[in-house]
Amino acid sequence: GLDKIINSDPVAITFFIGYMAMFASAVFFLVERGSVDGKWKTSLLVSALITGIAAVHYYYMRDFYLETGQSPTAFRYVDWTLTVPLMCVEFYLLTKPFGAKGGTLFKLILASLVMLITGFIGETSGIENNIMWGILSTLGYLYIVYEVFAGDVAKLAKTSQSPALGKAMFLLKIFITLGWSIYPIGYMVLPGNLLSGAFEVSSIDLFYNLADAINKIGFGLVIYSVAIAESAKHR
Amino acid sequence: GLDKIINSDPVAITFFIGYMAMFASAVFFLVERGSVDGKWKTSLLVSALITGIAAVHYYYMRDFYLETGQSPTAFRYVDWTLTVPLMCVEFYLLTKPFGAKGGTLFKLILASLVMLITGFIGETSGIENNIMWGILSTLGYLYIVYEVFAGDVAKLAKTSQSPALGKAMFLLKIFITLGWSIYPIGYMVLPGNLLSGAFEVSSIDLFYNLADAINKIGFGLVIYSVAIAESAKHR
Ligand SMILES: CC1=C(/C=C/C(C)=C/C=C/C(C)=C/C=O)C(C)(C)CCC1
Ligand SMILES: CC1=C(/C=C/C(C)=C/C=C/C(C)=C/C=O)C(C)(C)CCC1
């Protein structure tokens, strides 16, 4: 029940903040969708879906955590299974005007599924194996980093003429390298992993909740500000 | 309750992913409906209804499965009884500009009802009879395949001049033959049927959930991309 949060449990508090922040962001992106030019509307809808889907799962995770005191691993991965591919769709929509191909989107989604499935096995497989699975998962992650820095996505970004879009692509790189790297750091606090002992086990959810807020809401806001800047040009 | 999902039961996890994916898709199709030309609006609304109806039934199926640990057969067929005829309506709307007739739609819906009623009897009739009912059901399915490849639907598709629509018709065939064939494969894991023993009984829902995601969301996205491509032409 709700009474448990008064024990000022920081993990519970971040689940509450996360839930409300995701919900409010979904409303924001959905309503502001009406104020941007046609081609940006889909991007803003996808941002609304990412944060809206997350709101539902934060609601479950919050309850699960309050009831059991445990990390809601399954819900976390259910959420990521839907929202990480949608983040890849955001990158695709951003670069599509410069000729991004469906094949690149497909490669990004495939890499993210590899990253998430191996990550989930790692989190549920116990002390002996989570380092090995974490390394496999990191390979999927590094492939995405590679695509954005040196692969198809990077090539397209160079051909862009719009300063607003150039800035968005620069920020995209920052999000993928710094923002996303908070997740594997969180994973490393699992018992038997590299940071185990340095933090409490329950702090895995502090890392994940922080990272989710930065990446889902923060990146959505970057897209939003490009959309507003580009839409103002044609007025 | 929600706590059962921590047993990292893959069937439960796919019900959660399925629920959220259907819900998010319904929102997507409904909102994006505003961005396509008039004649595509009905198709996008039907896609939203198919995934929206499915979201409600996934919500029921998820709870039923968590409570009882059993396959939610009745909910599944309640869902299909509504969504399969709506899929036929989608095929009809796609070919209507090329002269599709109401009679063809009627034949497709009739065949799908035969397929679903016999399939439901098969799933609930027990070990001795489910192969026989499965064969009857497959006749209904094969009739639909025939209509799309050699019957009325196929003839119309040939007369189409639009490359976007030609591609959609090609993908429609792939969905009907490959996408839909996942369902009978799932059915065959029933005790006493052809694949019984090769997979666990509970994997019937893994097959059905995967197939539903591909066919309901995937085909909706195909229609969406044709609608966007055709709408862009007239701008
Ligand atoms: C590398 C790595 C991981 C990466 C997770 C990431 C990068 C998740 C990103 C989630 C996002 C961006 C959600 C947004 O909606 C895991 C699975 C923790 C396992 C350990 C190794
Ligand atoms: C052939 C066959 C079956 C086919 C089921 C199909 C093809 C269902 C399609 C559902 C769709 C497309 C839903 C979309 O919204 C059954 C009934 C499993 C019984 C065994 C034989």
B4: contact with A, CB 8 A cutoff: no
Number of other CB atoms surrounding residue A1 within 10 Å:
7
Q: Considering every ligand atom, which ligand is closest to the CA of A51?
A: 1
Q: Do A74 and B13 touch (CB under 8 A)?
A: yes
Phi, psi of B144 (to 5 degrees): -65, -45
Q: String of b and e for B197-214 (b: at least 16 CB within 10 Å)? A: eeeeebbbbbbbbbbbbe
Q: How much is the mean pLDDT over chain A? A: 91
B54 Cα: distance to centroid of ligand 2 (angstroms):
14
Burial class (CB in 10 A: 0-12, 13-18, 19+), B56: middle
The pLDDT value given to residue A165: 78
Q: Do B24 and A81 touch (CB under 8 A)?
A: no
Cα–Cα distances in angstroms (integers) from residue A234 to residues A38, A219, A222, in the given order: 11, 24, 19
B199 sits in the region (left: phi over 0; alpha: psi -120 to 50; else beta) called: beta
Phi, psi of B202 (to 5 degrees): -65, -15
Cα separation, A136 vs B7, in Å, equals 23
Cα separation, A152 vs A100, in Å, equals 8
Q: Do A78 and B16 touch (CB under 8 A)?
A: yes
ipTM summary value: 0.92
A63 Cα: distance to centroid of ligand 1 (angstroms):
22
Domains of chain A: 2-233 (1.20.1070.10)
The pLDDT value given to residue A162: 76
| Average pLDDT score over residue span A13-26 | 97
B16: contact with A, CB 8 A cutoff: yes
Q: Do A41 and B21 touch (CB under 8 A)?
A: no
Paired tokens of A100: 């991004």
Looking at per-residue confidence, does A52 or A70 come out higher? A52
B8: contact with A, CB 8 A cutoff: yes
DSSP category for residue A6: G
The pLDDT value given to residue B233: 82
- pLDDT tens-digit profile of B210-229? 999 999 999 999 999 999 98
- Spatial CA neighbour of B46 closest among B211, B219, B164: B219
- Spatial CA neighbour of A52 closest among B220, B219, B31: B31
Helices B102-124 and B130-149 sit at what angle, rounded to 10 degrees?
A: 160
Q: How much is the mean pLDDT over chain B? A: 91
Nearest CA in chain A to B14: A78
Cα separation, B8 vs B19, in Å, equals 17
Q: Which residues contact B80 (CB under 8 A, 6 or more apart)?
A: B116
Range among A50-64, A90-104, A148-162, B142-156 rated most confident:
A50-64
Chain B partners within 8 Å of A124 (Cβ) = 8
- Nearest chain A CA: its distance from B63 CA (Å): 14
The pLDDT value given to residue A8: 76
The pLDDT value given to residue A160: 66
Nearest CA in chain A to B30: A45
B2: contact with A, CB 8 A cutoff: yes
CA angle A40/A43/A49 to nearest 5° reads: 145
- Nearest chain A CA: its distance from B166 CA (Å): 18
**Confidence band (pLDDT; 50, 70, 90) for B3?**
low
B232: contact with A, CB 8 A cutoff: no
Chain A partners within 8 Å of B12 (Cβ) = 74
- Nearest chain A CA: its distance from B2 CA (Å): 7
- pLDDT tens-digit profile of B44-81? 999 999 999 999 999 999 999 999 999 999 999 999 99
Question: Residue B8 pLDDT > 70, yes or no?
Answer: yes
Ligand 2 site, residue B52, Cβ cutoff 6 A: no
